[in-house]
Amino acid sequence: MNSSFRFLGVWFNVAGSRDFVKKQVARECNSFAAIVRPAKLSAKQVVYLHNTVLILKLEYRMQVTHLSESECASATSSIRSLVKHKADFHEYSLTLFCFCLKAWD
């Protein structure tokens, strides 16, 4: 049996596979980016929404699933490119300060 089930909003997998949650996190990040991209928001506002809404939502869903740094980077690539686009940064610029609100002041 390799099925996933949800209990109180947290996803579990009988076989212990993380693939379902990984795909779910990537889908959530892509959905967030697709909704926010056409909105007339500044980069600082997008970072605020990312830090206060999306991160908390993902943390709650991933309570029992731990992803590696590379898996997280892969899932959130659409959001990083969105923030760089909104801030008029070059695509290949460093991401180091993109999600720190104090860097925008």
pLDDT digits (tens, 9 = 90+) for 36-81: 989 898 888 888 888 899 988 888 878 778 888 888 888 888 888 8
Predicted model pTM: 0.73
- Choose between 42 and 14: higher pLDDT: 42
**64 and 23 Cβ atoms separated by less than 8 Å:** no
**77 and 71 Cβ atoms separated by less than 8 Å:** no
Query: Which pLDDT score, from 0 to 100, does residue 103 have?
Result: 52
Token representation of residue 99: 């999600």
- Choose between 105 and 2: higher pLDDT: 2
